[in-house]
Chains A and B, each alone.
Chain A
Amino acid sequence: MIDYKSERVMYYKVLVGLLLLTAVTFVLPYLFEAGANLPAQMFIAVIKAWLILMFYMHLKGEKLISVMGIFSLAIVLVFFIIVLVVDVANFQFKDESHITAPQHTTTGVTENVAAPVKH
């Protein structure tokens, strides 16, 4: 059995930290330019995620699960970065894809000008 009264203090401390960081996310857009706002927001989100993982999800002191998690996520991240950077940089159908083709909005109507794909 654990001592509820002493353990709950940590939960309340983390709650206060998370609330403060949430308040910071509302201030950030007025401190940074639009381009820097997103990385700043994600940085705060990572700190919040770390607090949740370590204290609410009890990863503090859990070496095996932590190492397993970091290792698996690192592999996935490397794989995704390779896919994103290498594959997207060499995307052959940029002018034909519905997503990447340039858009015409001069008439007020969004028109996709993707070249017709030859079958």
Chain B
Amino acid sequence: MAHEYIPEISTDRDGNEHVVQGWQDDFYGGKLGFWLFMFTEVLMFGAMFLVLTYYNMLHPADFVTASASLNRFLGGTNTVILLVSALTMGLSLLKMRAGDVKGAKLMIWATIILALMFLSIKAVEWTAEYNHGVFLGLDALQSGNAHSKPFGEILFFGMYFTMTGIHGFHIIIGIGLMVWLLKRINAGKVSPEHHILHWNIALYWDIVHLIWVFVFPYFYMIGAASGGTGGH
């Protein structure tokens, strides 16, 4: 059954009524909504940081020892990769807003490649840790057996794998969003005039970077003075 089109009416400050042509240009509304979503992300990771801090208060020495065993070279490389990827994503949005659609697409591809590099390095790191018996579910991270690590280290690594795992999942989602963005740009649905989707995906990538800004020092750097570059 076809519905009769009933136009939306909005009223300006002087009381004059206007027919609303569409909400696609409600740029601020779109941006505000995405910020609300990002607060939920901060809430989730914030709660995890609080748990981490509480465990750290209970077992500070174990946390330093466990942190010292992480590979700071790989962690630091990933930090720089994410940092540069935030730049390429930001430049892609700038190029889009400046009317350079082709340049914007190139920058999005650069961001995707950097994101894949981040995941590859994380995979190498996790594989090395698994080969050294440090992984969720293995004996070293279960209390009460001959291979058990001290309890504080078990808590540290539990949070490390959980938080870097969830962060990695966000990176995968980000890659998916960027591929979708490229499709929308190719379809002409995202353009220099209508770029709220591009803006919000760039914001998403920034929040993923922002979370890593806190994850990296908390896990990798608190035991850095204990010697070497660390690493399993």
Q: Give residues in A with beta carbon < 8 Å to B.
A: 1-4, 7-8, 11-12, 14-15, 18-19, 22, 25-26, 28-30, 34-35, 37-38, 41-42, 44-45, 48-49, 52-53, 56-57, 64-65, 68-69, 72-73, 76, 80, 84, 88, 99-100, 103, 105, 108-112
Contacts and interface: CB of A to CB of B under 8 A. Distances in A.
Contacts of A2: 94, 97-98
B217 A52 contact: no
Nearest to A30: B225
Contacts of B225: 29-30, 34, 37
A64 B224 CA distance: 40
A16 to B, nearest CB: 10
Contacts of B90: 11, 56
A80 B42 CA distance: 13
Contacts of B149: 110
A84 B54 contact: yes
Describe B's contact surface by its main secondary structure.
helix
A38 B54 contact: no
B151 interface: yes
21 contacts: A1-B97, A1-B192, A7-B98, A12-B87, A19-B80, A22-B79, A26-B76, A28-B221, A34-B60, A37-B224, A37-B225, A38-B218, A42-B217, A42-B218, A45-B217, A56-B86, A57-B203, A69-B39, A72-B39, A84-B50, A108-B146
Nearest to A32: B225
A12 B88 CA distance: 10
A111 B94 contact: no
Contacts of B80: 19, 22
B164 interface: no
Interface stretch (B11-19, B112-120, B179-187, B208-216): B208-216
Interface in B173-214: 192, 203, 206-207, 209-210, 213-214
Contact of B54 (A64, A73, A88, A111): A88
